[in-house]
Structure 1
Amino acid sequence: MIQTIFKRLLQTIPMLFIISLVSFALVQLAPGDPITSFVTPNMNPDDVERIRQSLGLDQPIYVQYFKWLANVLQGNFGYSLINNQPVLGQIIERLPATIGLMGTALFFTLLLSIPLGLVAAAYENTRLDRVLNAVSYIGISIPIFWFAMILIDVFSVQLGWLPSLGMRTIGVESFWDVVKHAILPVTALTFQGCASYYRYVRSNTINQLKEEYVLFGYAKGLSKAQIMRHHVLKNSLLPVITLLGMYLPQIITGAFITESVFSWPGMGSLGINAIFQLDYPMIMAITMFSALLLIIGNLLADIAYTIIDPRIREVS
């Protein structure tokens, strides 16, 4: 197991290098010029060129890349082209808001989707199963930004129960105020997440209920609830582990669309602003963090597989 983990960690080095190379090229070749935010209509062309030189954008792409790579290897992700603040400092500042939002949404997603998927599979083709399937289809089909705007219109504009934007009310520092601001974005993320997780749990549970160990459990006199709780549940969670591994980058990098709609001051809104303003250092930092976390998430999912399923442990 330790050797496998060590090999996987070594494999991340060339993978991250290739990802950084491709990402840097794509960002640089994207249409637009980041210095347009510094240029005024009456600015002298020589001043524009000096700005370009001060930002290091006058050099060839490969020179810019290797300078960026050398700085990253030293733990320096550079400075934002927009506000001239350290990229790493801005990311650390935004992390708590994103982790709180995405972690809460993930908690409620698992809390709802796993039992609902088990129940729907246990009562397959019943009215309850059909209702839950219909709701999950709706959750998968509708765009999250549209659902988020519906939530804002109903609960903020029409009813006035909850705030629609931001993380805090100006001048209010209470925890309950943060909770009220988080209810709508967490609801939007949970609804979409439950729709996906529920279908994976339901599908895998239905397959598990057809296995011979379930029939053996009935033959031993175990009840359906006992079989579901002690045997089927563990085997049904294997695909959920894969989803959790893929979800790990979002816990750190945030939900770009949802955070933008609700003006949540997290990593998602920071990434969107960086993309619109062509803030190359910020875009690259968020991209590399996301790639690294995706690789780590897949590694943790593989480790969890071997812990939960002894058969995988024996093969490996």
Structure 2
Amino acid sequence: MDTLLYLTRRVLQSLAVILIVTVVVFCLLHALPGGPARGILGPQATAQQIAQFDHEQGLDRSLPVQYLYYLRTLLHGDLGTSYTLNEAVSRLIEQRLPKTLVLTVLSALAGLALAIPLGMWQAVRRNKPVDYVITTLSFVAYSTPVYFLGLVLVLVFTQLLPWFPSQAPQGDTLGQVLSQPNALVLPVVAGAASMVAVFSRYMRAATLENLSEDYVRTARAGGSRPRAILWRHVFRNSLTPVVAMLGYYVPVLFGGALVVEQLFNYPGMGLLFWSAAQSSDYPVLLGCVLVISVATVVGTLLADIVQRIVDPRVKAGRS
């Protein structure tokens, strides 16, 4: 019963945050220089064209009525129309979002697969030379901009060592992208580097904290082997803060994807956002902002749910 109440409250909180996000995006739309009509039609539009556009889009009504109309169009999946590509924004995002999700999920999985055992290894070898070396490398990886790391990867692994193509997988469909795994390696590595640096530190701290708990000393006194204690007991309990932080790391993953996609010419939503920013395609920009914001809220919600499953000690009253 407590779990159901906890999940219900978290879902309601997430819906409230999404509603606030729509208000912010609506305000951004009306904060465009000269208003939405001028921003969309361009500086050459005449006053008559602007008035006609405002009437067709309902922009000559009061702001509360406009917001309700905007909310209704969102519920119907209408994010507007790109005036540079002359295509529905929802259609553009529908084509690009799966590719971005593939890139971010692969980057996250690769980052976690390396960060979790690396952090545990550091904790076991605390204050030894290997711990200091990995810590230093983690700080360097965390402080290195994604675009610089990507350029280094391109220079090393496409020029000096021509092992991978310099361009990410191309294609209109997700199947075409997945059919070129060799071209996914460098974008995934670039996206996963900072995640390894961050989450290995979280895992190290969580493992050290759990190694000092009473249940570990009890297991040692009972004759359990150190490896069994580490993987059967400490591992699961140490995952809790990592899972909790994973949801909050979603916007960082999407932000990194924007740079990675532009650098490797990957046909995802990040490249769509970049191209829209270059051409001041405001409907596409705001549509991408809205989708990424919703994805962040959903990611946080899923992280809370998984955390509840991983660690039943999480109280129902905790948000």
Same fold (TM over 0.5): yes
Select the residue among 198, 209, 212 that pairs with 2:211.
Answer: 209
Per-residue CA distance 1:144-164 (angstroms, 9 max, x = gap): 111111111222234333222
Q: Is the 8 A contact 2:258 2:274 kept in 1?
A: yes
Q: Are the equivalent residues in 1 in contact too, given 2:103–2:257 (CA < 8 A)?
A: no
Distance 1:275 1:61 in 2: 29
Q: Pairwise mapping of residues 12-51 of structure 1 onto structure 2 (< 5 A)?
A: 12-30=14-32, 45=46, 49=50
Alignment equivalent of 1:285, drawn from 284, 287, 290: 287
Q: Distance in 1 between matches of 2:53 and 2:277?
A: 19
Structure 1 counterpart of 2:12, which letter?
L
Q: Which residue of 1 aligns with 2:109?
A: 107
Partner of 1:168: 170
How far apart in 2 are the matches of 1:36 and 1:222?
Answer: 68
Structure 1: which 5+ residue stretches go unaligned? none
Alignment match, 1:118: 120
Give the equivalent residue in structure 2 for 1:186: 188
Counterpart of 1:228 in structure 2: which amino acid? L
Judging changes above 3 Å, is the alpha-carbon distance between structure 1 residues 299 and 157 closer, same or farther for their aligned structure 2 residues? same
Q: Which moved more, 1:57-66 or 1:224-233?
A: 57-66
- Structure 1 residues 73 and 174: CA distance shift in structure 2, 3 A: closer
Taking the TM superposition and a 5 Å limit, the aligned residue runs for 1:30-179 are 30=32, 45=46, 49=50, 56=57, 59=60, 62=63, 64-168=66-170, 178-179=180-181
Letter in 1 for 2:18: L
Change (3 A) 1:276 1:118: same
C-alpha deviation, 1:81, in angstroms: 2.6
| Higher mean C-alpha deviation, range 60-69 or range 90-99 | 60-69
CA contact (8 A) 1:97 1:266 kept: yes
Q: Deviations over 1:242-280 (max 9, x none)?
A: 122224467778711111111111111112223343333
Residue correspondence of structure 1 range 255-266 to structure 2 within 5 A = 255-266=257-268
- RMSD over aligned Cα, in angstroms? 3.2
The C-alpha deviation readout for 1:44-77, integer Å capped at 9, x for no partner, is 8468647855884974793654432221122322
In structure 1, distance between residues paired with 2:295 and 2:150: 26
TM-score normalised per structure 1:
0.85
Report deviation, 1:135.
1.0
Q: Is the 8 A contact 1:253 1:267 kept in 2?
A: no
Deviation at 1:211, TM superposition (A): 1.2
1:139 Cα deviation after fit: 0.7
SS of equivalent residue, structure 1 residue 150: helix
What is the alpha-carbon distance in structure 2 between the residues aligned to residue 314 and residue 225 of structure 1? Answer: 33
Change (3 A) 1:90 1:72: same
CA contact (8 A) 1:252 1:267 kept: no
What residue in structure 2 maps to residue 229 of structure 1?
A: 231
Tell me the distance in 1 between the aligned counterparts of 2:167 and 2:52.
Answer: 35
Hey, what's the Cα distance between the residues in 1 that align with 2:11 and 2:171?
43
- Give me the whole-angstrom Cα distance separating, in 1, the residues matched to 2:171 and 2:92: 21
Give 2:118's aligned amino acid: L
User: Aligned equivalents of 1:37 and 1:17: distance in 2?
Assistant: 24
Q: Structure 1: which amino acid aligns with 2:228?
A: Q
Shift of 1:314: 7.6
Q: CA 1:57 to 1:250, structure 2 compared with 1: closer, same or farther past 3 Å?
A: farther
User: What is the distance in 2 between the residues matched to 1:82 and 1:61?
Assistant: 28
- SS at the partner of 1:230? helix
Identical-pair percentage: 31
Offset of 1:240 from its aligned partner? 1.1
Unaligned runs of 5+ in 2: none
Counterpart in the other structure of 1:303: 305
Tell whether the 8 Å contact from 1:99 to 1:251 is kept in structure 2 after alignment: no
Q: Secondary structure at the match of 1:255?
A: helix
SS at match of 1:125: coil
Residue among 10, 13, 20 paired with 2:12: 10
Q: Read off the aligned partner of 1:289 and give its amino acid letter.
A: V
Give the conservation status (yes or no) of the 8 Å contact 1:246–1:297: yes
Return closer, same or farther for 1:48/1:149 CA change in 2, 3 Å cut-off.
farther
Query: Post-superposition shift, 1:232?
Result: 0.5
Q: Distance in 1 between matches of 2:76 and 2:280?
A: 24
